[in-house]
Amino acid sequence: MTVIGIAACRKLEDYRQAILHVGGEPRILDTSMAAAAAVEGIGGLMLTGGDDVAPALYGETALPSVVGAEAGRDEFESALIAAARARNLPIFAICRGVQILNVACGGTLVQDIPSQIPGALAHSLSVPQHLPYELAHEIWIEKESLLATLLRERIVDDGCEVNSRHHQAVKAVAPGFVVSATAPDGVIEAIEDPKMRFCLGVQWHPENFFRTGEFRALFEGFLEASQILKS
């Protein structure tokens, strides 16, 4: 069975379930591990949600609304990303995951959408006021992208609806990456590295749909790539 390394976070269960539902074997990777050892024997790396990446990592001072992640998480996940990319392991990054992926590869973030992008859509619907899988806004998907290929059966008029629980987003896209989806207000909702077989980050939470399968194709594609590349 293909082992998928999942970066530890406070709400792991839906990530685990999403991998189990497509036949993968989750292995939780936490900051007590050395990154090089943590990627040994995994077929793919999944980066998960959580609090904010330290703005110092992209050369900015933190705004008051920035909430730092657990101690050591930024450094551990940056090292996981470097180790995985050096081995050409597939990476699937979700929410905070796409943010740390972008920063670790040289990009920057919008620190706080509500205060830095006037007129932006409501991207930070909070639980439990809203259900985790409540659809929040549309995204527009680039036609010639891995994301479009994976979601082809769900896309209508070049887009689809997604859930949304983030107050940050990708700003300057990391060198070598391309934007594969944006919200109608211009907020970047997905990036990918076309040089890699599978290196995709999305700003919404596809794992919250594991019961009903709206975004199952993303996890299937990730697992399939991880099987091809297993060491």
CA-angle at 160, arms to 13 and 111, nearest 5°? 65
Q: What is the spatial distance between Cα 123 and Cα 8, in angstroms, rounded to a whole number?
A: 23
Q: What separation, in Å, do the N-terminal and C-terminal C-alpha atoms of the chain show? A: 12
Give me the least distance between CB of 94 and Mn ion, in Å please: 12
Give me the least distance between CB of 39 and Mn ion, in Å please: 29
> Is residue 181 a contact partner of residue 139, using CB atoms and an 8 Å limit?
yes
CA-angle at 43, arms to 40 and 49, nearest 5°? 95
Q: How many residues bind Mn ion (CB under 5 A)?
A: 2
Give me the least distance between CB of 108 and Mn ion, in Å please: 18
**SS3 state of residue 205:** coil
Q: What values do phi and psi take at 57, rounded to 5?
A: -70, -20
Question: Is 105 marked active-site?
Answer: no
Question: Is 205 marked active-site?
Answer: yes
Give me the least distance between CB of 71 and Mn ion, in Å please: 27
C-beta of 85 vs 123, nearer to Mn ion: 123
C-beta of 8 vs 95, nearer to Mn ion: 95
Binding characters for Mn ion, 65-104, by CB under 5 A (x = yes): ----------------------------------------
For residues 17-76, which are near Mn ion according to CB under 5 A? Answer: none
Question: Is 9 marked active-site?
Answer: no
Structure tokens given for 174: 């990391």
C-beta of 85 vs 205, nearer to Mn ion: 205
Per CB under 5 A, does 205 bind Mn ion?
Answer: no
Binding characters for Mn ion, 154-173, by CB under 5 A (x = yes): ----------x---------
- According to CB under 5 A, which one of 16, 73, 123, 205 is a site residue for Mn ion? 123
Beta strands in the chain (DSSP E): 3-7, 25-29, 44-47, 91-94, 109-110, 137-141, 159-162, 169-170, 178-182, 188-192, 199-202
Residues that bind Mn ion (CB under 5 A): 123, 164
Active site residues: 95, 205, 207
